[in-house]
């Protein structure tokens, strides 16, 4: 039962443009959401998070948006840089953590 | 701090053999998590511990899988006997019990032939 879904396995964006990564969830009990970034041969690293009481959280080039009514989460990266190329995991918590399958972002120079 | 340490980084074994994966969490963290990453299912939570006590092992796929945490600085994930479908990258992560952010180790890539 995939409670957290990332329906796009990959995304390719030109350097300088906006990257938008999407995530949908089914469990309305989730109260905290996170994005992790993963480079090859490394473990995921925390990127940004948002509580369910908020609808937006911004940290530099990274902004996470939460739409609770749609059970939808998105990560915006502006401007995208080649070093942002990685796999991005969406995660949601209602006690324990559930991860999506990941989206591979490629930022082309 | 050295971060979460996992060993071995790579393991190749034959079907039927026992495999033991090891994890040392970040000092002071009291929650520990074992995940499995596959292409099909992404990151799956296998089991997690709070203060060395297993809290939820519902993600452990079969009785062939077992995990222990004998003390605050060490955990093992054992697969016996191993099967080719167990091939995946296994991650260990740790966190403070009252914080959401988890810190992941570099993973162990397991190949069962």
Q: pLDDT, tens digit, for every residue of B47-62?
A: 999 999 999 898 898 8
Kindly state the tokens that stand for A98.
């559930």
Looking at the complex, report in whole angstroms how far the Cα of residue B27 sits from the nearest Cα belonging to chain A.
Answer: 18
pLDDT value for A23: 97
Under an 8 A CB cutoff, do A43 and B105 touch?
Answer: yes
Which residues in chain B come in under a pLDDT of 50?
none
pLDDT value for A16: 97
A1 pLDDT higher than 80: no
Provide, as residue numbers in chain A, all residues whose Cβ is less than 8 Å from the Cβ of B91. Answer: 43-44
User: Which of B42, B104, B106 is the closest to A102 by Cβ?
Assistant: B42
Which residues of chain B form beta strands (DSSP E)?
5-7, 10-13, 19-24, 31-38, 42-50, 53-56, 65-71, 74-79, 88-95, 103-104, 108-112
A103 pLDDT higher than 90: yes
The DSSP output letter for A17 is: S
User: Which of B41, B45, B105 is the closest to A96 by Cβ?
Assistant: B45
User: Over pLDDT 70: what percentage of chain A?
Assistant: 99
């Amino acid at each position: 039962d995939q409670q957290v879904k990332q329906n796009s396995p990959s995304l390719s964006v030109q350097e300088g443009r906006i990257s938008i990564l999407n995530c949908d969830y089914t469990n309305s009990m989730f109260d905290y959401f996170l994005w992790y970034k993963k480079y090859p041969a490394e473990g995921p690293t925390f990127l940004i998070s948002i509580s369910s009481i908020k609808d937006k959280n911004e940290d530099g080039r990274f902004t996470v948006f939460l739409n609770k009514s749609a059970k939808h989460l998105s990560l915006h990266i502006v401007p995208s840089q080649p070093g942002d190329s990685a796999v991005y995991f969406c995660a949601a918590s209602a006690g324990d953590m559930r991860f999506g399958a990941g989206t591979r972002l490629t930022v082309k120079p | 701090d050295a971060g979460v340490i996992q060993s071995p980084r790579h393991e190749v074994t034959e079907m039927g053999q026992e495999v033991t994966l090891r994890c040392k969490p970040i000092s002071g963290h009291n929650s520990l998590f074992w995940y499995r990453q596959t292409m099909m299912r992404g990151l799956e939570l296998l089991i997690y511990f709070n203060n060395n006590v297993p809290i939820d092992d519902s993600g452990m796929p079969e009785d062939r899988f077992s995990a222990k945490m004998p003390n605050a600085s060490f955990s093992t994930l054992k697969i016996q006997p191993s099967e080719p479908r167990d091939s995946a990258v296994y991650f260990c992560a740790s966190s403070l019990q009252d914080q959401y952010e988890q810190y992941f180790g570099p993973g162990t890539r397991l190949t069962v032939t």
